[in-house]
């Protein structure tokens, strides 16, 4: 097999996991834009989604078409509970304190999952089939291709909703100016809840996709770290940044993992993160905060 073809295949695989990163990053940006909360537990929400799917599909024996929506709804429900129970009481506290709350939340979620399902990795019931797909001569794993397609569709739907749906408009208004949105009669607390529900539901969905590719384990939340790199590089409040950043980081991780070795994956991305931060402290597409005396 030619080197070029191999490179092409690696690139396709990178784009596949990049799409998942974009999706996770989108969940993250959604919450950040609406509520200014950095949700470090997004990786754990993703993990929870994988386990919920496992519970519905393997535990209750539900078919995939029922188990997937249930897992997403479960994620959304947890998002709502978290927003009401943990985030809203922190309104007005320093961003760092709220950020730490989400770290604590991540720990709670990991502990709960370990308590219920144990620490061993598990495989999710297959629902995508295994026949590989070929693009030209290049081989792509079917699961990755499906994950890419699903992520792309979901992201497209989101973009449309942002533009035209009332809730999406309210969300953007709140992101731009909370006080103004409030005085225009937008239900700002409602928007906060909505953002958390959608964000956590999205993360749970991404977890189902990720879990069906690589299996689930309580440690799969580290995927959230890569997503974190994506949003920092892209800019915390930039949807475009999440999309582009996700694909770029996915590619870089795939290339670094293949050509340098698996242990180089994280260092490369985090090294790039440092460089990106030094050059553009608010991300490639993020809004610069101006400080005045």
Partner 1 sequence: MKIGTAKHSYQADEALLTTRPQRLWMGLFALGLCIAPFMLDNYWLYLACLVAINVASATGLNILTGYTGLVSLGQAAFMAVGAYTVGWMQLRLGTPFLLNIVAGGIVAAAVGLLVGLPSLRVKGLYLAIATIAASIILHFVFVNWQSVTNGNSGLTLTPATFLGTPLTDYKQLYFVFVPITALMVLGAANLFRTRVGRAFIAIRDRDISAEVLGISLLRYKLTSFAISSFYAGVAGGMWAYFFRVVTPESFPFVYSIFFLAAIIVGGMGTILGAILGAVFMTLVPELLRFGIDWLTPVLPNAAAMLSPVRTIVFGLLIVGFLIFEPKGLAEIVQRTRRYFHLWPFKK
Partner 2 sequence: MTGALDSGATGAARLEVEDLSLSFGGLKALRGVSFSAEPGSITALIGPNGAGKTSMFNCISGFYKPQKGSVRFDGRDVTRMHPPERAALGFARTFQNIALFRGMTVLDNIKLGRHAHMKTGLLQALAYWGPAQREEMELRAEVERRIIDFLEIDHIRNMPVAALSYGLQKRVELARALAMRPRILLLDEPVAGMNREETEDMARFILDVKEEWGTTILMVEHDMGMVMDISDHVVVLNFGEVIARGLPHEVQADPHVTEAYLGSGDPAALMARLKGETGTTGNSGAPTDDRREDVA
**Interacting residues with partner 2 (CB under 8 A):** 36, 94-96, 289, 291-293
CA atoms within 13 A on the CB side of 276: 22
DSSP letter string over 272-288? HHHHHHHH-TT-SSPPP
Residue from 69, 104, 121, 190 in contact with partner 1 (CB under 8 A) = 104
Contact 253, 269 (CB under 8 A): yes
Residue from 59, 69, 95, 121 in contact with partner 1 (CB under 8 A) = 95
Contact 27, 202 (CB under 8 A): yes
Residue whose pair of structure tokens reads 């709804």 in the numeric block: 73
CA–CA separation, 20 vs 102, rounded Å? 21
263-292 binders of ligand ATP (CB under 6 A) = 290, 292
Largest CA distance in the chain: 63
The count of chain residues that interact with partner 1, using the rule CB under 8 A, is 42
- Among the listed residues 102, 78, 49, 43, the one whose alpha carbon sits nearest the alpha carbon of residue 227: 43
173-192 binders of partner 1 (CB under 8 A) = none
Q: What is the nearest approach in angstroms of partner 2 to the Cβ of residue 174?
A: 15
CA–CA distances in Å: residue 204 to residues 50, 51, 71, 129, 250: 7, 9, 7, 21, 19
Residue whose pair of structure tokens reads 């990795």 in the numeric block: 121
Q: Which stretch binds partner 1 (CB under 8 A): 4-12, 85-93, 191-199, 207-215?
A: 85-93
124-183 binders of partner 1 (CB under 8 A) = none
Is position 293 an interface residue for ligand ATP (rule: CB under 6 A)? Answer: no
Q: What is the nearest approach in angstroms of partner 1 to the Cβ of residue 118?
A: 8
Which of ligand ATP, partner 2, partner 1, none interacts with 36 (beta carbon under 5 to 8 A by kind)? partner 2
Binding positions for partner 1, rule: CB under 8 A = 38, 86, 89-90, 93, 95-97, 99-101, 103-112, 114-115, 119, 225, 228, 232, 236, 263-264, 266-267, 270-271, 273-274, 277-278, 281-282, 291, 293
């Amino acid at each position: 097999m030619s080197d070029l073809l191999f490179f092409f295949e690696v690139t396709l695989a990178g784009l596949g996991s990049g799409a998942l990163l974009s999706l996770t990053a989108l969940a993250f940006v959604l919450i950040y834009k609406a509520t200014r909360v950095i949700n470090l537990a997004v990786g754990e929400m993703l993990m929870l989604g994988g386990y919920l799917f496992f519970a519905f599909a393997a535990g209750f024996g539900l078919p995939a078409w029922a188990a997937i929506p249930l897992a997403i709804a479960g994620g959304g429900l947890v998002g709502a509970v978290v927003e009401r129970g943990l985030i809203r009481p922190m309104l007005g506290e320093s961003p760092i304190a709220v950020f730490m709350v989400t770290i604590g939340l991540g720990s709670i979620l990991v502990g709960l999952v370990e308590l219920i399902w144990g620490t061993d990795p598990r495989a999710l019931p297959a629902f995508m089939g295994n026949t590989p797909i070929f693009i030209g001569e290049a081989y792509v794993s079917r699961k990755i291709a499906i994950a890419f397609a699903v992520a792309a569709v979901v992201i497209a739907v989101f973009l449309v909703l942002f533009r035209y749906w009332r809730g999406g408009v309210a969300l953007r208004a709140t992101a731009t100016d909370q006080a103004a949105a409030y005085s225009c009669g937008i239900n700002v607390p409602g928007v906060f809840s909505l953002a958390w529900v959608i964000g956590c539901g999205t993360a749970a969905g991404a977890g189902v996709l990720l879990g069906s590719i690589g299996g689930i384990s309580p440690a799969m939340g580290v995927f959230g770290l890569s997503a974190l790199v994506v949003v920092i590089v892209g800019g915390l409040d930039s949807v475009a940044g999440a999309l582009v950043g996700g694909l770029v980081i996915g590619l870089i991780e795939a290339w670094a993992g293949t050509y340098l070795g698996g242990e180089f994956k994280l260092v490369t991305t985090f090294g790039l993160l440092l460089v990106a931060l030094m050059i553009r402290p608010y991300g490639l597409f993020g809004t610069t905060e101006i400080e005045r005396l």
